[in-house]
Amino acid sequence: MISRPFIVLYASVLVATMGISMVSPLLPVYAEELGATGIWIGLTFASFAVTQTIFGPFAGRWSDRYGRKPFIIAGLLLYFVAALGYLTATSFVQVVLFRMLSGVGTSFIFSVARAYIGDLVPPGHEGRWFGVFATGDIIGFGIGPLVAGLLRKFLGFDAVFISMALLMASSALIVTLLLPRISPEVRLRAAARRESELSFRLAMSDRLVLAITLTMLVTSFSFGSTFSFLAVKLEGLGTGAVLIGLTFSMESFASALMQPFTGRLADRANRRVLVVAGIVFTAVMLALVGVVQHVALVMLLLVGMGVGQSFSFVASSAMQVVAGRRVGMGTVIGLGSAGNGLGIILGSVIAGLIVDSSGVDAAFYFGGAMMVVGLPLFWWLSRGVPVTEDPSLPPPGQQRSGPLPGDIAPEPTVGGGR
pLDDT digits (tens, 9 = 90+) for 54-109: 888 888 788 877 788 889 999 999 989 988 888 887 777 788 888 888 888 888 88
State residue 228's pLDDT score. Answer: 67
SS3 182: coil
CA distances to 144, 185, 215, 249, 361 from 129, rounded to whole Å, are: 24, 16, 21, 23, 37
Q: Which residue type does 320 have?
A: Q
Q: What is the pLDDT of residue 81?
A: 92
Following DSSP, what letter does each residue of 381-409 receive, concatenated?
Answer: HTTTS-----TTSPPTT-S-SSPPTT--P
Answer with the residue of higher pLDDT: 400 or 263.
Answer: 263
pLDDT value, residue 77: 93
User: Could you read off the pLDDT of 272-291 as tens digits, one per residue?
Assistant: 999 999 999 999 999 998 89
- Better pLDDT: 257 or 195: 257
CATH superfamily of 4-182+201-384: MFS general substrate transporter like domains (1.20.1250.20)
List, for residues 115-163, the tens digit of each pLDDT value.
Answer: 888 888 887 788 888 878 878 877 787 787 778 778 877 887 788 888 8
**pLDDT at residue 145, as a whole number:** 75
Sign for the pseudo-dihedral over CA of 97, 112, 161, 298: positive
Tell me the C-alpha distance between 409 and 208, whole Å: 32
What's the mean pLDDT when you consider all of the chain? 78
What pLDDT does residue 284 have?
93
Among 46-60, 135-149, 357-371, 399-413, the least confident range? 399-413
* Cβ–Cβ < 8 Å for 289, 366: no
Tens digits of residue pLDDT in 308-320: 988 998 898 889 8
- Average pLDDT (242-262) is 78
The string of DSSP letters for 206-249 reads SHHHHHHHHHHHHHHHHHHHHHHHHHHHHHHTT--HHHHHHHHH
For the stretch 294-310, pLDDT in tens is 888 988 998 999 899 88
Rama region for 328: left / alpha / beta (φ>0; ψ in -120 to 50; rest): left
| Alpha carbons 50 and 140: distance in angstroms, whole number | 23
| pLDDT at res. 197 | 54
- Evaluated on CA atoms 260, 142, 368, 106, the torsion sign reads negative
**What's the confidence (pLDDT) of residue 322?**
86
What string of DSSP letters covers 22-61?
HHTTTHHHHHHHTT--HHHHHHHHHHHHHHHHHHHHHHHH
Please tell me whether residue 155 adopts helix, strand or coil conformation.
Answer: coil
* Of 344, 276, 286, nearest in space to 311 by CA: 276
pLDDT tens-digit map of 5-57? 888 888 888 887 887 777 766 776 677 677 666 666 666 666 777 887 888 88
* pLDDT at residue number 304: 92
Q: What is the pLDDT of residue 38?
A: 61
- pTM of full prediction above 0.95: no
**What is the pLDDT, as a whole number, of residue 300?**
92
